[in-house]
Structure 1
Amino acid sequence: MQDVVVVGAGPTGLWLAGELRLGGASVTVLEARRERDVNSKALTIHPRTIEIFDCRGVVEPFLAEGVRIPNGHFGGLPDRMDFAVLDTPYPFTLALPQARTEELLEQRALALGATIRRGCRVAGLTGDGVELADGEVLAARFVAGCDGTRSTVRQAAGIDFPGTDATTWGWLGDVVLDAPPERGFASVTGARGGLLVVPLPGGVHRVVGSDPGTNRPGWPGELTLDELRATVTAIAGTDFGLRDPRWLSRFGNATRQAATYRSGTVLLAGDAAHMHFPTGGVGMNVGIQDAHNLGWKLAAVVTGRADDALLDTYHAERHPVGVDLLEHTRAQTALMTGYSPEGQALRAVTSKLIAAAPDMSKYLAERLSGLDVAYATGRRVPDRRLSDGDTLFARLRSGGYVETDAGLVRPDGHLA
């Protein structure tokens, strides 16, 4: 019997597997796909997630390969938030395809001793583990559902997933551009829609945005190259010479959150616990941060270092973060899809406030970056020099508690 079966080998499940092994728990990760998805839903790694990687000694490849972006947008507004004011060693986001992030996190999990099994689709839960589609039963003391918005684990556990259905749709295309924007990046907004152009490895750019044509309920159909070209041209005045699509996709603003993140021996993290419009590129980051909160607690319980009641603090601490996430993404979605004259006026006024009010800009940047999260025990503790000359982030790499002048710091970097 395994201590924990993690269902889903995305960023959330892989980070959780590594944290469990760091804490001494045995873990098997089950993934339905036989191969890693080459199409990367997520590109953005926010400052708090970079800090987490540093706290476990795995940040260097992310810094070496990711493209550093020193500011961020709120709802696609033209005036951007300056991350230089943030209290972090990493005042920027990193642009890195999710497929590469998963590869790096999988390397860490395997190096720590996790077992990862691909091509294993979970059909449901048993009294003491999971049952696979081929009839195999894998026993485990706990099951962690990191298996996305359509989570089999969540449904099998009978955990409600209330919320709202999609009322608007975004689109993306990973394409070749014959006439890319200067410096590779572009951000264009207006009454005809908004879009971002971001360079990806391999000579490909991602063109992502939304427009009035799909600002309505009801699935608009599969995205075609001709539709993408026409929509981009209408918004930007050029199609940037886009061709040879590697991936075309749509996504909606359906917004839901699990009623509980724990039901007995079943726990949820990442998209299995919350879904939303991907404004600000925060989804993967919140999932990894869920796993960072859960991993040390679950490992402590299964190894006998903590009472089972510690797991209840996972829901108590992370469910409110999810509530805040949904509020934040809904607000940004409203701004992004404000195509009417009134909506455009609201966007203009809000954008000017970000430019003119440094405190407002910093507040939004702290929320977007994940640096403002606080629990009942206290806020995250920024990196600092300890009395023996070591740094807090370096000391946290063992996965234990650290004594500092600010107080005792938990394995996840928050005050105990």
Structure 2
Amino acid sequence: MNEIETDVVVVGAGPTGLTLAYELALAGVGTLVLEKLPSRNQQVKGGAIHARTAELLESRGLLEAMRNRAFPGPPVGANFALLPVPLDTTAWDTRHPSPIMLPQWEIEEVLEERATALGARVRRDAAVTAVEADDDGVTVTADGGLRVRARYVVACDGGRSTVRKKLGMPFPGRPGTFLAVLADIRLSAVSPLVPRERGHISTLTRRANGYWAMLIPLGDDRYRLTFGHDGGADQAGPTRDTPVGEDEITAALRAVYGEETVLGGVDNSSRFSDATRQVERYRDGRVLFAGDAAHIHPALGAQGLNLGVQDAFNLGWKLAATVQGRAPAGLLDSYHAERHPVAARVLHHTAAQRVLADPDPSEDVAALRDIFIDLMRLPDTNRHLTGLISGLALRYDVPGTHPLAGQRVPDADLRTDAGPTRLSALFGAGHAVLLDVGGVVPADVTLPGRVDLVRAKCATDLGAGALLLRPDGYVCWAADDAEACRAGLLDAVAEHLTTG
């Protein structure tokens, strides 16, 4: 038996697990990622990076490498329930107005390269077989004769999480009512019904001959195909683990896009359902849950990958502070307190989207959809829905009386003594930032490690003279003047960020 020790074991090398591994390694925490697959999975999965996720990735210098791998084509706005009104991010003041589309395995490759460069280790072909937690740590046993003792374990191992099952954690919710297919394909011939360029998702959906389908051009002869049967689940049909055959894809293509549309090849394929579930507690002692191991929902609005990556950005700095003995009381528990409600809201609005996006709506649902489309054209409604889908509306319930507490701050242009920069560039080291834009922070202030003081000028009104920003970019405290800053700053650092 090969026995090793580490600070944190992350189970699962998907986007959530690898983002967390990067965050922990950036903070100097010993991290081992265990992945059951022998190599990176190139099956079709989520690959749309929404605005808030893009902002977080950019703050760590990770976004550009992903953008360079994005699918070609014009920018396309996000959607709500596949309805024909694009979501407009203009009102949210972001530098990333359109989702960035690229394969999920490309995202994983970038994250793994960066995480391992910082010292994180990824061990593949290491399926977890046992998880034993106690007051002092967790022992994880995996294939290959591997036994790991860690101070904490984070389950990022998907909707059918082995860790969650080994610990007997309930995963309440609603089972799926249908199975659909997602596949990356190549077409050797196309009919006039096949879209020639990527556009808003509402223009790429069709329903015909007992099928519903969506075909997204990816460049050259490549397409991303999603399809299912009208009428919900077929009890005699395939199961979630039944391989998707080329004949099945061919039948769907011919039914929806005509006999002239000819399948040239299948690069990868998978099945998904509309099941909705959420674990009751994101922390169980020294075991935590993130990504699909904590929550699953219908694949509408491209929420899954973004929700999981943002789980990791929220958890990473808190877990690192806890491991290193500098976390204020309750900091690690705030991961559940902050992220559980966020996922619950996503489950709530994806349930609503599922009704509105029904490919075979009842007369009543069709009427509701018509009214909802009219409402989406109203600026306030569109802004609200855009905030939900993009993550830009997220505000954590952070203690404090300042109006900015718990909010993100747009990526403003700054001017420091060292020259021009951007707010996002201040977070590359994964530290918290005390941003003084009003000259209100005392000259003699002494801050603990991993809290960086940046004095700058900003042409944009950020809403306060000084902002204390967490490593994930959310305001945990703000002051309007020097008196308020002197009175509350150090207490705020000790309460929200670090004790030393």
- TM band (smaller chain): over 0.9
Give the counterpart of 1:23 among 24, 27, 38: 27
Note the alpha carbon deviations across 1:71-130, whole angstroms, 9 max, x for none. 112111122223344321111101100011110010110111101111111112124321
Deviation at 1:169, TM superposition (A): 2.6
Show CA shifts across 1:351-376 (max 9, x none).
2322x312111211111011111111
Query: Structure 2 counterpart of 1:250, which letter?
Result: R
Asked if 1:345 corresponds to 2:370, the answer is no
CA distance in 1, matches of 2:253, 2:379: 33
Larger radius of gyration: 2
**CA distance in structure 1 between the partners assigned to 2:179 and 2:431 by the alignment:** 43
Is the 1:269–1:291 Cα contact (8 Å) retained in structure 2?
A: yes
- Indicate if the aligned counterparts of 1:297 and 1:311 stay in contact, CA closer than 8 A: yes
- Name which of 149, 152, 164 aligns with 2:162: 152
Aligned equivalent of 2:39, options 35, 40, 45: 35
**What's the CA shift for 1:385?**
3.0
In the TM superposition, 1:319-398 aligns within 5 A as 319-342=340-363, 343-354=365-376, 356-377=377-398, 378-386=406-414, 388=416, 389-398=420-429
Q: Which deviations, in whole Å up to 9, do the C-alpha atoms of 1:338-396 show, x marking residues without a partner?
A: 51342333333322322x31211121111101111111121222112345243221001
1:119 to 111, 115, 125: 125
Distance 1:70 1:173, change over 3 A: closer
* TM-superposition CA deviations, 1:258-298 (whole Å, max 9, x none): 01000000001000000111111110111000000000000
Asked if structure 1 preserves the Cα contact closer than 8 Å seen for 2:11 and 2:34, the reply is yes
Q: Give the partner amino acid of 2:45.
A: K
Give the counterpart letter for 1:169 in structure 2.
L
Task: Report the counterpart of residue 187 of structure 1 in structure 2.
Answer: 204
Per the TM alignment, residue 36 of structure 1 is displaced from its structure 2 partner at its CA by 0.4
Cα distance per residue 1:295-350 (max 9 Å; x no partner): 00000111122146211000000000110111111111112225134233333332
* Distance of aligned partners of 1:45 and 1:312 in 2 relative to their CA distance in 1, 3 Å threshold: same
TM-score (norm 2): 0.78
- Shift of residue 184 of structure 1? 4.8
SS of alignment partner, residue 421 of structure 2: coil
**Aligned residue identity for 2:104:** Q
- Secondary structure in 2 aligned to 1:314? helix
Residue type of the alignment partner of 2:427 = L
* Structure 1 residue 402 corresponds to structure 2 residue 423: no
The one-letter code sitting in structure 2 at the alignment partner of 1:130 is: V
Partner of 2:472 in structure 1?
Answer: 412
Higher helix proportion: 1
Instruction: Quote how far apart the aligned CAs of 1:190 are.
Output: 5.2
1:208 equivalenced with 2:258 (yes/no): no
The alignment partner of 1:174 has SS state of: strand
The change in CA–CA distance for 1:135 and 1:210 in structure 2 (over 3 A counts) is same
Kindly state the Cα deviation for residue 398 of structure 1 after the two structures are TM-superposed: 1.3
Q: Give the whole-Å Cα distance in 2 for the aligned partners of 1:84 and 1:361.
A: 10
- Are the aligned partners of 1:70 and 1:84 in contact in 2 as well (CA < 8 Å)? no
CA change 1:131–1:338 in 2 (3 A) is same
Shift of 1:58: 1.6
Structure-1 separation of matches of 2:472 and 2:407: 11
- How do 1:168-187 residues align onto structure 2 when only pairs under 5 Å count? 168-177=178-187, 178-179=189-190, 180-184=194-198, 187=204
Moved more, 79-88 or 299-308: 79-88
Greater shift after overlay, 327-336 or 168-177?
Answer: 168-177
What is aligned with 1:220? 237
Tell me how large the CA RMSD over aligned residues is.
2.2
Match of 1:92 among 75, 98, 101: 98
Give me the whole-angstrom Cα distance separating, in 2, the residues matched to 1:17 and 1:239. 47
Which AA in structure 1 matches 2:392? Answer: L
More relative contact order in 1 or in 2 (CA 8 Å, sep 6+)? 1
Over 3 Å counting, the alpha-carbon distance change for 1:137 and 1:12 in structure 2 is same
DSSP-derived class of the 2:97 partner: coil
2:453 is aligned to none
In 1, distance between residues paired with 2:356 and 2:34?
A: 38
What amino acid maps onto 2:375 in structure 1? L
- Consecutive unaligned residues of structure 2, counting only runs of 5 or more, are 399-405, 438-463, 477-500
Amino acid aligned to 1:29: V
Identity of aligned residues (%): 41
In the other structure, the counterpart of 2:107 is 101
Shift of 1:53: 1.0
Q: Which of the residues 28, 45, 48 maps onto 1:44?
A: 48
- Post-superposition Cα deviations, 1:154-205, rounded to whole Å, max 9, x if no partner, equal 1223321101111123222321122252225551245866432223467421
The amino acid that maps onto 2:217 is: P
SS in 2 for 1:245: strand
Q: TM-score, normalised by structure 1?
A: 0.93
| Range moving further from structure 2, 238-247 or 81-90 | 238-247
Question: Secondary structure at the residue paired with 1:49?
Answer: helix
User: Quick one: which of 258, 264, 277 aligns to 1:243?
Assistant: 264
Compared with structure 1, are the counterparts of its residues 138 and 235 closer, same or farther at alpha carbon in structure 2 (3 Å cutoff)?
same
Amino acid at match of 1:174: D
**For this pair of structures, how many residues does the alignment match?**
414
Letter in 2 for 1:181: P
Query: How far has the Cα of 1:234 moved from its partner?
Result: 4.2
**Contact in 1 for aligned 2:66/2:106 (Cα 8 Å):** no
